[in-house]
């Protein structure tokens, strides 16, 4: 029987690290995909979120990319992240 997922999360992976590695994913090869039900994650930051958002995923996910120190979210980085994501249209 085929299973159907409502959404798919594309995140980065490292065999020796667990969870939010902060490692950016290559977005090459994703441009031709229909990303309407895809959430992009992994290494996103204010500096690269516009490129990810330009692929029109359902959502983008961020954690360490907007931290000033481990576990401490930086309001200015969060603001930049949102503005840059929205600028991609």
Q: Is the pLDDT of residue 88 over 80?
A: yes
Domain 8-87, CATH among 2.40.30.10, 3.40.50.2000, 1.20.1080.10, 3.20.20.70: 3.20.20.70
Q: Return the domain boundaries, the chain.
A: 8-87
3-state SS, residue 89: coil
Res. 32: pLDDT tops 90: no
pTM: 0.80
Q: Which pLDDT belongs to residue 20?
A: 60
- 43-83, pLDDT tens digit by residue? 899 999 999 999 889 999 999 999 999 999 999 999 999 99
Pull the structure tokens for residue 55.
Answer: 């692929």
37 and 6 Cβ atoms separated by less than 8 Å: yes
Would you report the helix, strand and coil content of the chain in percent, each value rounded to 5?
25, 15, 60
Mean pLDDT, the chain, rounded, equals 84
């Amino acid at each position: 029987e085929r299973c159907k997922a409502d959404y798919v999360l594309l995140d980065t992976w490292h065999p020796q690290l667990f969870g939010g590695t902060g490692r950016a994913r290559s977005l090459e090869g994703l441009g031709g995909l229909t990303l309407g039900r895809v959430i992009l994650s992994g290494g996103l930051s204010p500096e690269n979120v516009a490129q990810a958002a330009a692929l029109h995923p359902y959502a983008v996910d961020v954690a360490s990319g907007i931290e000033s120190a481990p576990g401490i979210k930086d309001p200015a980085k969060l603001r930049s992240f949102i503005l840059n994501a929205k600028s991609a249209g």
